[in-house]
Structure 1
Amino acid sequence: MTEKTTAPQQGESLDLEWLVNGLLDVPGVTGALIAAQDGLTVAYTRRTEYSGKGLTDETAQRIASVISGLYALTNGVANLAGGSGRDLELGLLKHKDWSLFVVSAGTGVPAGTPLPLRHDPSTVECTLGVIVTPQADEGVIGFEMKQLVRSMDRHLRTSTRRRESGTADGQ
Structure 2
Amino acid sequence: MSGTSLPDNERSSLDGLLEALITRSRGAIVRVLLATGDGLKLASAGATAQEADTMAALMSGLYSLSREAFRTAGPGGIRQILAEHDRGTLMVMSAGTAAANAAPNVLGTSLGVLTTPAADAGAVAYEMTALIRSLDEHLVTQARTEAASAQFRQEM
By the TM > 0.5 criterion, same fold?
A: yes
Structure showing the higher helix proportion among its residues: 2
Identify if the C-alpha distance between structure 1 residues 76 and 41 changes in structure 2 by more than 3 Å, giving closer, same or farther: same
- How far 1:105 sits from its partner (Å)? 0.8
- Determine what percentage of the aligned residue pairs are the same residue: 32
Equivalent runs, 1:1-171 vs 2, <5 Å: 7-8=4-5, 12=8, 14-15=10-11, 16-25=14-23, 26-27=25-26, 28-45=28-45, 54-85=46-77, 87-88=78-79, 90-107=80-97, 120-122=104-106, 124-158=107-141, 163-164=151-152, 166=154
Aligned residues: 142
Identify if the C-alpha distance between structure 1 residues 132 and 80 changes in structure 2 by more than 3 Å, giving closer, same or farther: same
Could you tell me how far apart the structure 2 residues matched to 1:13 and 1:157 are?
17
Could you tell me how far apart the structure 2 residues matched to 1:59 and 1:126 are?
18
TM-score, normalised relative to structure 2: 0.77
- How far 1:67 sits from its partner (Å)? 0.8
Identify if the C-alpha distance between structure 1 residues 79 and 31 changes in structure 2 by more than 3 Å, giving closer, same or farther: same
- How far 1:73 sits from its partner (Å)? 1.6
Structure 1 segments of 4+ aligned residues over 3 angstroms from their partners: 10-14, 159-162, 164-167
Could you tell me how far apart the structure 1 residues matched to 2:154 and 2:94 are?
36
Identify if the C-alpha distance between structure 1 residues 55 and 66 changes in structure 2 by more than 3 Å, giving closer, same or farther: same
Could you tell me how far apart the structure 2 residues matched to 1:34 and 1:165 are?
23
Opposite residue 74 of structure 2, the aligned amino acid is G
Identify if the C-alpha distance between structure 1 residues 145 and 166 changes in structure 2 by more than 3 Å, giving closer, same or farther: closer
CA-to-aligned-CA distance 1:111-139 (integer Å, 9 cap, x gap): xxxxxxxx9323x1211101100000011
Q: Name which one, 1 or 2, has greater alpha-carbon Rg.
A: 1
Opposite residue 68 of structure 2, the aligned amino acid is G
Q: Give the unaligned 5+ runs of structure 1.
A: 1-5, 46-53, 110-118
Identify if the C-alpha distance between structure 1 residues 127 and 164 changes in structure 2 by more than 3 Å, giving closer, same or farther: closer
More contact order relative to length (CA 8 Å, sep ≥ 6): 1
Could you tell me how far apart the structure 2 residues matched to 1:62 and 1:18 are?
20
Q: Give the unaligned 5+ runs of structure 2.
A: none
- How far 1:95 sits from its partner (Å)? 1.0
Could you tell me how far apart the structure 2 residues matched to 1:135 and 1:81 are?
34
Could you tell me how far apart the structure 2 residues matched to 1:100 and 1:138 are?
10
